[in-house]
A and B are shown apart, each in its own frame.
Chain A
Amino acid sequence: MSEYLLALATICGVQVLLVLGLNVQFGLTGLVNFGQVAFYAIGAYTSALLTLAGVPVLLAAAAGVGLAVLASLLVGLSTLRLREDYFAILTLGFSEAVRLFLLNARELTNGPIGLSGVPRPLAIFGRGADALSYFALVALGAVLAFALCQALARSPLGRTLRAIRDDDQAAMALGKDVLAFRLTAFGLGAALAAVSGSLWAHYVTYVVPDQFTPEVTFYAWMAMIIGGPGSMRGTVLGTVALVGVLESTRFAKDVFTGLDATRLAATRQIAIGLGLIVLTVYFRRVGTRRSRPG
């Protein structure tokens, strides 16, 4: 049981990084990013591929972050000037294009079979201590990211980002370079997603394209909406709540014995759909929410 709780805590830590990234983009800056999973996937695959090729883990993870930021700048430059729903569609399309690339570029990514045997750092402590030390690493990452985002939200930069979210015309009139600020927020969120992806790849020790479907993005959206967009503390609470609920559905198959794995998965997806709708109705001001930092 304690092993299970440790696994749950590790998953929470990894997810917190992903949702914090989304919250910097949407909660602080108002960027409707529907492709957060793309940067998570880029971080995971880059880190996995490079460590398998013998590159030290830290360097590989840094490369993943670099590549994700580069991709976010390319996607952002083409669309951040446009209306928010164009941006939403383009980021969603980007994440599907990345997944299809991972699925089809067999020479590089091994296609649908994916990459296995991704080394887990800190394994030197031997079995048993292994999971605990990795959790410590994830927790350290999550705490650092939380502190960074909290500091960002309270800084003059964070204030500018909120001003752009609430009224970009006014921010522009005050001489703020809106595109540059949006790119900064988008890139920062992508970097956090890449760190999260890299931590995930080295935790589960394998990557397959199926781990990077759009549902990852929408889990993150649900966690952010539950916690209240713009609030970093809310993000952490929302993520813990969502992971708790979702993981407890694992036990559903012990209760409803008639459901096989496929049907159970489909039922979970229907629950995501309903959850998205209900949360959007309940927090009617998603996107116009003005919350104080912290």
Chain B
Amino acid sequence: MLLVGELVHLTVTGVLIASLLALAAVGLSLSFGVARFANVAHPDFMMVGAYATFAYNVGLGLAFPAAAALGIASALAIGVAVAWLAFDRLPVTGNVQLLIVSIGVSFILRHVALLIFGASPAQFAVPLQRPWVWGPVRLTANQIVTLAVAGGLVLAVHLLLSRTRLGRILRAMADSPALCQVSGVDTGRSRLLMWAIAVLLGAVAGVLFGLNLVLQPNMGWDLIILIFAATILGGIGSPYGALAGSLVLGITLEWSTLVIPFQYKEMLAFGAMALCLMFRPRGLFGGR
């Protein structure tokens, strides 16, 4: 009975972590599919969203919901400008060159944040909350907001990809950019909109992360193994896979803490990523 309670508790925590991972991983997968390179700076969009919100919330003293809205909007502007300049406008081609550029972007974003905000952990100015308890399940209002917002956004991305013209274009661009171009699609503009979606998802994930934990300039970079593992488990380039990969990874890692010390989570995630690439390179749910 004790073990069941513990398992339920860990599963809830796992789903919470998965919801944050999923927001980041879906955006990463989408940009990998459309822009065709692994954007190492993607997790840093989380950091930009969190610190922009922090600046309005603590720096200017705005209430958290207003600060979050302004912060996410600012992060969207910064992130899209950075992605457009570095990944679309530079005269580089090829996935390796873009990958190296994205590493440069990641170094710059993290350390500009360090220069502005310092290295010590920061927190949003939100009131402390008493968790609601149902048996083994304990949830705070912030955690419920996190689950609701993440779930809602993932659903919105699903509707966007499956029901709208932009979604159809993005899926087509992932399949064949050349065919898209000859069909008269403005691929440059669609790519820009793709960056906007990816940055938005990342920035929201960062704000939700900051709401539940603390902010640090390395908060995105430190999640890089987990985010890439979730993306690869789900089959890189597939936004739906990224969602499933996040859930599998988030819950399994929490369960693993029953037998393996929690500090080794990243190593387990790395192992899962390596094994997955060895035996099922198209992801757990993709064909061989």
- Chain A residues with a Cβ under 8 A of chain B: 32, 34, 75, 77-79, 82-86, 88-90, 92-94, 96-97, 100-101, 104, 215, 218, 221, 262-263, 266-267, 269-270, 272-277, 280-281, 284, 286-288
Q: How far is the CA of A281 from the CA of B101 in the complex (A)?
A: 9
B45 within 8 A of A: no
What residues on A are CB-neighbors of B270 within 8 Å? 93-94, 96-97
Q: How far is the CA of A255 from the CA of B232 in the complex (A)?
A: 47
* Cross-chain contact A273 with B106 (CB below 8 angstroms): yes
Interface string of B250-276 (1 = CB under 8 A from A): 000000000001011011001001110
13 other contacts beyond A85-B99, A277-B86, A284-B91, with CB at 8 A cut-off?
A32-B96, A79-B274, A85-B96, A86-B232, A89-B40, A89-B232, A93-B229, A218-B107, A270-B107, A273-B105, A273-B107, A276-B103, A281-B91
Where chain A touches its partner, the secondary structure class is helix
* Cross-chain contact B274 with A75 (CB below 8 angstroms): yes
* Cross-chain contact B40 with A92 (CB below 8 angstroms): yes
B2 within 8 A of A: no
What residues on B are CB-neighbors of A85 within 8 Å? 37-38, 95-96, 99
By Cβ-Cβ distance, the 9 closest A-B pairs, closest first, are: A273-B107, A276-B104, A273-B108, A104-B263, A277-B104, A78-B278, A97-B270, A269-B111, A273-B104
B81 within 8 A of A: no
CB pairs A–B below 8 angstroms (26 shown): A34-B99, A34-B103, A75-B274, A78-B274, A82-B281, A84-B95, A85-B95, A86-B277, A86-B281, A89-B228, A89-B232, A101-B264, A104-B263, A269-B111, A270-B107, A270-B108, A270-B111, A272-B107, A273-B103, A273-B111, A276-B100, A276-B104, A284-B91, A286-B96, A287-B97, A288-B94
* Cross-chain contact A277 with B96 (CB below 8 angstroms): no
Which residue on chain B has the smallest CB distance to residue A96? B225
What residues on B are CB-neighbors of A263 within 8 Å? 115
CB distance from A135 to the nearest CB of B (A): 31
* Cross-chain contact A266 with B277 (CB below 8 angstroms): no
Q: How far is the CA of A85 from the CA of B108 in the complex (A)?
A: 21
B179 within 8 A of A: no
B213 within 8 A of A: no
CB distance from A214 to the nearest CB of B (A): 8
Known: A93-B270, A100-B266, A101-B267. A270 touches B100 (CB 8 A): no
What residues on B are CB-neighbors of A79 within 8 Å? 274, 277-278
What residues on B are CB-neighbors of A77 within 8 Å? 278
B114 within 8 A of A: yes
CB distance from B101 to the nearest CB of A (A): 5
* Cross-chain contact B38 with A89 (CB below 8 angstroms): yes
Known: A86-B236, A86-B277, A93-B225. A280 touches B100 (CB 8 A): yes
Picked from B111, B229, B267, B273, the residue with its CB within 8 Å of the CB of A266 is B111
What residues on B are CB-neighbors of A218 within 8 Å? 103, 107
B155 within 8 A of A: no
Which residue on chain B has the smallest CB distance to residue A86? B277
Contact size range, B: 35 or more
Picked from A32, A94, A97, the residue with its CB within 8 Å of the CB of B99 is A32
CB distance from A278 to the nearest CB of B (A): 8
CB distance from B238 to the nearest CB of A (A): 14
Count of A-B contacts with CB under 8 A? 130
What residues on A are CB-neighbors of B4 within 8 Å? none
CB distance from B39 to the nearest CB of A (A): 10
Q: How far is the CA of A269 from the CA of B273 in the complex (A)?
A: 28
Which residue on chain A has the smallest CB distance to residue B109? A273
B46 within 8 A of A: no
Q: How far is the CA of A221 from the CA of B229 in the complex (A)?
A: 24
Picked from B104, B106, B118, B267, the residue with its CB within 8 Å of the CB of A97 is B267
What residues on A are CB-neighbors of B141 within 8 Å? none
What residues on A are CB-neighbors of B281 within 8 Å? 82, 86
Q: How far is the CA of A88 from the CA of B106 in the complex (A)?
A: 15
Residues facing A in B44-78 (CB within 8 A) are none
Known: A78-B275, A90-B277. A104 touches B264 (CB 8 A): yes
Known: A85-B96, A89-B38, A93-B270. A277 touches B90 (CB 8 A): yes
Which residue on chain B has the smallest CB distance to residue A94? B270
B112 within 8 A of A: yes
* Cross-chain contact A266 with B224 (CB below 8 angstroms): no
Q: How far is the CA of A101 from the CA of B100 in the complex (A)?
A: 25
* Cross-chain contact A267 with B104 (CB below 8 angstroms): no
* Cross-chain contact A100 with B263 (CB below 8 angstroms): yes
Known: A269-B107, A269-B111, A276-B101. A281 touches B90 (CB 8 A): yes
What residues on B are CB-neighbors of A78 within 8 Å? 274-275, 277-278
CB distance from B135 to the nearest CB of A (A): 33
Q: How far is the CA of A209 from the CA of B224 in the complex (A)?
A: 18
Q: How far is the CA of A125 from the CA of B283 in the complex (A)?
A: 58
Which residue on chain B has the smallest CB distance to residue A286? B97
CB distance from A6 to the nearest CB of B (A): 31
